[in-house]
Each structure stands twice: as C-alpha cells, then as structure tokens.
Chain A
C-alpha cells in the first residue's frame, strides 16, 4: 500500500492560530495617538500593538467574510479570532493570500504565524504597507 514518498502538504503554520500566547511587538511610539485597545494614559507598558485604521480593519473583515462565506449578520470585528470564525489552516492561508493581493504586500511565514485575530491581520498589514512606502 502505502509506500509513497510524500508530502504531508504543509500549509503555512497559521493553524497555530490555536496557540494562546500572542507575541505582540511594540510599534512605533510616534505613530500612536490613542490605541484603540485602551492603553492607560501615562503607562509606559505598551502592551498593545499599533492600532490599524478602522478602514483597514473593515477591509480585513470583508475579506474574511468572503473567504469563510459568513452570513451578513454574523459578527466579525477586530477582536474576532480566525479559528473561532471557523477558519481551518487552508482558510487562513487563503485569507493571508487575499490580504496580500488586496494591499499589495507580501507576508512572511514567520509574521503570518502570529495572526490570530482580525486586528492582528490589520495591524500587520499597516506595518507592511508603511514599510513598503518607507
């Protein structure tokens, strides 16, 4: 039977979206006015990554909705986790591909691993777009 050589067809490790520990980088302090995640004023602990523009978050939401064929009334926000929305590893790779096309960016596998929520994706997109135009 089974003698094949073989690829287990490894998709990009976005299936690690089940990982609980999120690694958040500290974004450019300069570009942050008021992070949408409720950073305490005066606190030096920049716990939160750069908040992406709402338009970016919206675009990500719509790409995610399309990929997962979610009904119009199902809630998709920045907080939404891909895995909770029903995305499997193939979906998440395709979502990243869709984001790459939409925003004209290229997402490295290592960065893609840390994308767990819509917000993560939007933040990474803005970072990459900024880097591109820099």
Chain B
C-alpha cells in the first residue's frame, strides 16, 4: 500500500480510540468459559458432568461434526491475530504497542480466545467426540495458517473481517438454535454467547469500513469489489486431520445441509454489507469505482441464482466418515 494510504490509518487513530475501542467489553464484565461449564470445585461437579453428557447423547453426530469444525476454527486464533498484524498501518509493532489499532487487535484476540476454550472444554466433557483427532486437526491448522488474499492491505483486511464476523455470528446463532431444538439449553447458551460476541465484533469492523467509505470511497469500493472477486475464503479451509484430504469440503457440506452456514448466507451477508455501507448511494466515483460499485451491488442476486441452480441439480450426497467422531458416518 502506498505511504499516503498507510498515513490514513495513522490519522484515524484518535477516531478509532473513540469509536472502535468502545466495542470492546471490559474484562471484568465479560463472561468466562467457567460460567457455562460444570464447576470442578463444587460438590455437584460429577452430577453436572453426568447431565452434560446425557444431554449430549441426544444430539446427533452431524451436529457435532459442525460444532467441532467451528471449534477447530476458533482454536486457530493465532492465525487470525497474525493476519491482523500483517495489515499495513494497523500493526502491533512491539506486541504491546499502545496505538488504538494494536489495543483493538490484542483485546479482540483475548475475547475470541474464550470461544475456543469454552467449546474445547465442552466437547472434551461431552464424550461424543474424538478429542485426539480434533487436537491433531487444530495443530495442523495452526501450522498451515491461512491466506485470505488481503495482501497487507487494511482496506481488504477489514472488509474481510466484517464479512467473517457476520458469518460467525450467523453460524453460531444457528448452532445455538439447533442445540435448543435438541434439548440442550446449556449448549444453546454457550453458542449464543459466542454469537453475541461475534455480533459486537461485526459492528466494530463494519464501522471501520464505513469510515473508510466516508473518507476514501473510491478506493474502498474498489477493494470491496476486489475482495468479492477473490471470494471470501473461510479461515479453516486448509483444515486437515491426517486422514481426509477433503475434510473442509465435507465439513462445509454438512454445515450447509444443517443450515448452519450456507451459500444463501454468503449472499445474504454480502447484501447486508452493501446495504450497511450504502454502496448504491455513493456518488462521485471514478470509472473504475463505478465498475466496482456495479459489480458489488449486483453480485448477491447472481450468487443466489447460481445457488438455486445448484440446489435444483443436487444429486444425492454420500455419507462419509469423520475422524472427529471416531469415523462414524454422516450424510453430506
């Protein structure tokens, strides 16, 4: 990114302090994993664990495949903190830098860290899944990293994170709803609390991009189009468990079938962002900017049409084993 663009983020530091850091929750007010798990120091600990496991028995394998995939994604958090620190102009230069951007990144990471911890402990206690395979998958995934093609560019980076936070908000919201349907209110609360964090993060990231649209609409709309052309790749798309070369695709297929996260959601998120950032209303764009504007504004309906066609032609999918559940099979 050219120096004058990097300068923009320096000049936004005060604004970020006053408008973005406010979306962080003070640690003293945050929930902790402890709040939703059996308390080992209490007399009723064994009973609570027994109850948790009994509830988990009523939840089908396909749900667990999706929950595990989500948990693995959350546990790859080091990759995401790294990714944020690749973005020019907003990096945490020392690991303890006091710029608002650096403060945001560390505090955001700290909030997210609770998500993986909570899901990990829940899955461990549930007795429904092969923790060793899951742990292996996490180790592979953190080792692989991810490249969302944000190219050190915070315009791309924050558009990407805006999309992703909304995607996680939607998918954790769906796992919460499904947990409730399966009679597990505690798991529903777990997923629901994670979802509400994600919603707060989505609001923060979209606000950053809203500001970028305000001060540099032409560049921002062009990078929005660029990011969408590249397609929003999922953070865990390189996931591998040592056995299944199509692990991510298989996991995604189950998530799609269960309605946890679907192609329709992808189109809906895009449309939400186009509306949120009022992309249709931007004036005074360059020719390239207008092309980008047209592309982005017209994209969601195209994706929906494509998805309708794909659904219409969908052949019966196979059942495949997942090592996360001891190679039990699940319908894709």
Contact = CB atoms under 8 A, between A and B. Distances in A.
Nearest to B255: A5
A3 B71 CA distance: 7
Contacts of A6: 167, 171, 234, 236-237, 252, 255, 261
A5 B80 contact: no
B73 interface: yes
Given A1-B168, A88-B229, A9 B73 contact: no
A2 B261 CA distance: 13
B23 to A, nearest CB: 13
A4 B303 contact: no
A90 interface: yes
Contacts of A2: 73, 80, 161, 164-165, 167-168, 234-235
Nearest to B79: A2
A90 to B, nearest CB: 6
Interface residues of B, number: 45
Contacts of B172: 3
Tell me the dominant secondary structure on chain B's binding face.
Answer: helix
A5 B178 CA distance: 15
B85 to A, nearest CB: 13
A59 B232 CA distance: 34
B255 A9 contact: no
B136 interface: no
A94 B168 contact: no
A4 B73 contact: yes
A97 interface: yes
Q: Point out which of A1, A7, A93, A94 has the most chain B C-beta atoms below 10 A from its C-beta.
A: A1
Nearest to B67: A5
B164 A94 contact: no
B192 interface: no
A28 interface: no
B125 to A, nearest CB: 20
11 contacts: A1-B112, A1-B164, A1-B168, A2-B164, A4-B73, A4-B261, A5-B70, A5-B251, A6-B236, A90-B299, A90-B303
